[in-house]
Chains A and B, each alone.
Chain A
Amino acid sequence: MRREVATFIVNGRTYEELVPANMTVLELLRDRLGLTGTKRGCSASGNCGACTVLVEGKPTLSCLTLAWTVRDRRILTVEGLSRQGRLHPLQQAFLDVGAVQCGFCTPGMLLSAKALLDTNPDPTRDEVRRALAGNLCRCTGYVKIVEAVLTAAAVIRSESGAQAGAAESAGAASGPGAAAGRPPGGASQEGAGLAGECVSW
C-alpha cells in the first residue's frame, strides 16, 4: 500500500505526515495530530455530522474523507476557530445562550454554522436550520443552537460594521490590521485570503 509524506494545512499550520492511503482525515486529526475536538460519532455512515471539518471552507465529513485526497488543502477544525485567545463569536454565543449540553455535537455544529455565516452573514432561522440539517444533537438542544447561531451572526455583523467604520476613520496611515486592534498580517489578512470568509472571522 502506498505510504507517502504529504503536506496538510490544518488551522493555518503546516504538517508533514507520512500517511498511508487508507487513513481518513478523522484519523489524521485525532490520532496523528492530537486534534481531538473533531468527534467520531456514527462510525462512518454519514448521518451524524460530529466529524465535520471545513475543507477549503466547505463542510466535510472527515470520517469519510481519505486524508491523502485533501493534501495541500486548507482544513479548519474546532481548534482553529478562536483567534489570539478570544473565542469565535459562534463559540461565545453557544456558551452565552446555553447551546451546549453534552457537547459531543458542538464542534461539528460550530463548523457547519461557520460555513453558513461565511457565505450568508444574515441568515433566517430557516436557513440556519437547513445549514445544520446534517448535524445531529442527541440531547435535542436544537432550539438553543439555532438561537446561538443567529446571535453570533448579529455579533459578527456588528463587529464587521464597527471594524469597517474604524478603518475608514483611521485612514491609510494606520492600516486595516491596526484599526482592528490586530497586528498587521494577522487575522484580517488571513480572513481576506479565504474565499467568502467574513472580514473579522
Chain B
Amino acid sequence: MHRTLRPFELLEPESLGEAVRVLASAGTGAKVLAGGLDLVAKMTRWEIEPPCLISLGRIPGLASLESGADGHLHIGPMTTLRSVELSSLVSNGWPLLHDATRQIASVQVKSMGTLVGNLCVATSASDIAPALCALDAVVHLVGPSGARTVAIADFFIPECCSILAPDQIVTEITVPPPRPGTGAAFRKLAHTKACIAKVNVAVLVERDGDVCRRARIALGAVASTVVRARAAEDLLTGGVATPDLLAGAAALAIEAASPISDLRSTSGYRRDMVGVLTRRALTEAWDRAGGS
C-alpha cells in the first residue's frame, strides 16, 4: 500500500555550525537528512514520524573524499557509497574499503546512500562497518557541547545503536594511511549478491616475513553490532603465520560471534561460517601482504 509521508518541517542550514544550532533547537525527534535512504523509507512506512528534518544537502563541501597531508583518508558526511566505490584513491590506498563498498549491489542505493549514513543506521549487517573497523577508522562528531572523536569500534553500542546523540552530527570519517606489509580481505555470505549479509568478515594483517605483527578481524551480522574478534587477533599477533595458526585464529573468532537465527540463516550456521570465512579471509590477506 502506498502511504504519503506524514507532514514535517524541512530545514536546510547552510553551514555545519548552523546545522548543529538548528538541530539543538529543533526539539525531540528531529532527524538529520543526508542520502535519506533509510530515513525516508522508515518515514514512508510510518515507523518513525520526525516532526523536523535537517537536511545537510545545501551545505557546501560535505561530499569530500580526499587524502589529507597526514596521509589519512577523509570522508565527508555527504560522500556517497558510489563515490567511494569509484574512487581510485580508495581502491589503490584502501582496497578493503573498496571491496566492502562493491558488495552493495544496487547502483541506486550506492548513488543515493552516504557512507556516513550507512554507519549511523548502525545495523550490525553493514558491509562498511567491519571494513572500517579493520582499518581502525575514526568517527568525528560535533554537537552543542563541541567536537569529539571516537574509534569506530567504540561508535556502536551492543543491543542498541550508536553513541551518536540526537543532537550530534557525524562530520567526518578518517581512515589511517595504509602501512607497509599489510594485506586485507573482505568476505560476505548472503542469499544472493543483492541480499543483506548472513555473515561478513573483514580482516587486515601486517606481515614481517613469516611473523604477523598486527591483526584486525571484524565480524558483521553475527552479533547485535559489529564486533572485533580480539582473542583471535591476539593469537595472531607476534605469531608465525602457519596455516595452523590462521585456522586456530579463525576457530577462535567464532567465540566473538553471538548470532541469532532469523529468516536469513540459523545461529549455528552463522557461527560455523564465521570460522570458514575468517580462515579464507586471513589466508587471502596474508598472501596479499607479501613477504617483505
Chain A residues in the interface with B (C-beta under 8 A): 1-2, 20-24, 27, 40, 43-47, 49, 52, 58-61, 63-66, 68-69, 112, 115, 130-131, 133-134
Contacts and interface: CB of A to CB of B under 8 A. Distances in A.
A59 B108 contact: yes
20 contacts: A2-B10, A21-B7, A21-B10, A21-B53, A23-B5, A24-B40, A27-B4, A40-B2, A44-B45, A45-B41, A46-B106, A59-B111, A64-B36, A64-B112, A65-B36, A69-B36, A69-B57, A130-B107, A133-B107, A133-B193
B44 interface: yes
Contacts of B4: 22, 27
Interface string B26-50: 0000000100110011001100000
Nearest to B194: A133
Contact of A134 (B1, B33, B57, B105): B105
A133 B45 contact: no
A165 to B, nearest CB: 31
A68 B54 CA distance: 13
Given A24-B44, A59-B107, A134-B105, 10 more contacts: A21-B8, A46-B109, A60-B108, A63-B44, A64-B36, A64-B37, A69-B36, A115-B107, A133-B193, A134-B108
A126 to B, nearest CB: 12
B40 A68 contact: no
Contacts of A61: 37, 108-109, 112
B9 interface: yes
B44 A1 contact: no
Contacts of A112: 107-108
A134 B55 contact: no
A193 B50 CA distance: 39
B6 interface: yes
Nearest to B6: A22
B44 A20 contact: no
A134 B44 contact: no
Contacts of B3: 43
Contact of A46 (B5, B9, B108): B108
A159 to B, nearest CB: 25
Interface string B74-117: 00000000100000000000000000000001111101100000
A1 B9 contact: yes
Contacts of A21: 7-10, 53
Interface string B166-210: 000000000000000000000000000110000000000000000
Contacts of B44: 24, 43-44, 63-64
Interface string B249-282: 0000000000000000000000000000000000
Contact of B2 (A43, A58, A65, A133): A43
Top-7 shortest CB links A-B: A134-B106, A44-B44, A22-B5, A21-B10, A133-B105, A1-B7, A134-B108
Contacts of B194: 133-134
A112 B111 CA distance: 11
A124 to B, nearest CB: 16
Contacts of B9: 1-2, 21
Contact of A1 (B8, B37, B111): B8
Contact of A66 (B10, B45, B82, B107): B10
A47 B107 CA distance: 11
A117 B60 CA distance: 29
A46 B55 contact: no
Nearest to B193: A133
Nearest to B39: A64
Contacts of A2: 9-10
Given A1-B9, A21-B9, A131-B107, A44 B112 contact: no
A65 B5 CA distance: 11
A89 B35 CA distance: 31
Contacts of B105: 130, 133-134
B10 A134 contact: no
Contacts of A68: 10
A69 B34 CA distance: 10
A24 B5 contact: yes
A20 B7 contact: yes
A20 B10 CA distance: 9
A33 B44 CA distance: 21
